């Protein structure tokens, strides 16, 4: 059937990019008619249901909402050292220098002393904000702006990484090995390039 063809094709693709197809639910639906979305459809008697296997256990069901409910939220690596790559740095009148980025690991709190790699610049965090609200702590997944003491905008730039000075601060690497996939990128990528 067409469903099986698509399932096979998508499974191959999923495998290529490093996922286990057995842990992915394949659910035939009609978004147009609402078939098999919230409750099992009587229009596809050939479909016996989906089932997935993963290290956290098995799950099964018939419709899309059950497959969505079976997705496990990712664990937030708050126990690891702080790593916060900078996406931008702003100078805000009356406040000062505000680096912005997403917490990848660890926790960022006001009063913390942070070190920025690769320049090894150390400063204190005055405050942390997300969506214009002050935070007592930022955790992995949070996109935050944080005000830093006595640092000018010129000293920081996109791509620098902030970490806790007292817990495995980030350091510049002389070299590293990476697998990079570039999708239709305009222009040249050279030393010092940041998107």
The string of DSSP letters for 80-93 reads: SPPBEEEEEEEEET
**In this structure, how many other beta carbons lie within 10 angstroms of the beta carbon of residue 71?**
10
Mean predicted confidence (pLDDT) in 22-40:
94
User: Is 64 found in the same domain as 42?
Assistant: yes
Higher pLDDT, 188 or 129: 129
User: Is 100 found in the same domain as 36?
Assistant: no
* 79 token code pair: 């126990």
User: Is 112 found in the same domain as 27?
Assistant: no
Using the CB atoms, write b or e for 128-145: b if 16+ within 10 Å. bbeeeeebeebebebebb
Residue 36 reports pLDDT greater than 90: yes
Mean predicted confidence (pLDDT) in 72-84:
91
Q: Sign of dihedral through CA atoms 143, 124, 90, 92?
A: positive
Residue 118 reports pLDDT greater than 80: yes
User: Is 192 found in the same domain as 106?
Assistant: yes
Distance, in Å, from the CA atom of 181 to the CA atom of 25, rounded to the nearest integer, reads 26
Mean predicted confidence (pLDDT) in 167-177:
93
User: Is 124 found in the same domain as 178?
Assistant: yes
pLDDT at 74: 80
Total of domains in the chain: 2
Task: Kindly indicate the confidence band of residue 195, based on its pLDDT and cuts at 50, 70 and 90.
Answer: low
**Domain that residue 26 falls in:** 2-69
Residue closest to 65 by CA, chosen among 41, 42, 45: 41
**Domain end residue (candidates: 24, 41, 69):** 69
User: Is 157 found in the same domain as 95?
Assistant: yes
């Amino acid at each position: 059937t067409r469903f099986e063809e698509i399932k096979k094709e998508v499974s191959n693709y999923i495998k290529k990019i490093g996922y286990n197809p057995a842990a992915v639910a394949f659910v035939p639906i009609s978004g147009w008619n609402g078939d098999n979305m919230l409750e099992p459809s009587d229009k596809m008697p050939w479909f016996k249901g989906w089932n997935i296997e993963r290290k956290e256990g098995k799950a099964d069901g018939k419709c899309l909402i059950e497959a969505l409910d079976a997705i496990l939220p990712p664990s937030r690596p708050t126990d690891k050292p702080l790593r916060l790559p900078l996406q931008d740095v702003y100078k805000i009148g009356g406040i000062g220098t505000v680096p912005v980025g997403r917490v990848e690991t660890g926790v960022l709190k006001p009063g913390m002393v942070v070190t920025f790699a690769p320049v090894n610049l150390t400063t204190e965090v005055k405050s942390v904000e997300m969506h214009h609200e002050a935070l007592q702590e930022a955790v992995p997944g949070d996109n935050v702006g944080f005000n830093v003491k006595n640092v000018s905008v010129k000293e920081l730039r996109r791509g620098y990484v902030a970490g806790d000075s007292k817990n495995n601060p980030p350091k510049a690497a002389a070299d590293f090995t990476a697998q990079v996939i570039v999708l239709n990128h305009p222009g040249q990528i050279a030393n010092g390039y940041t998107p």
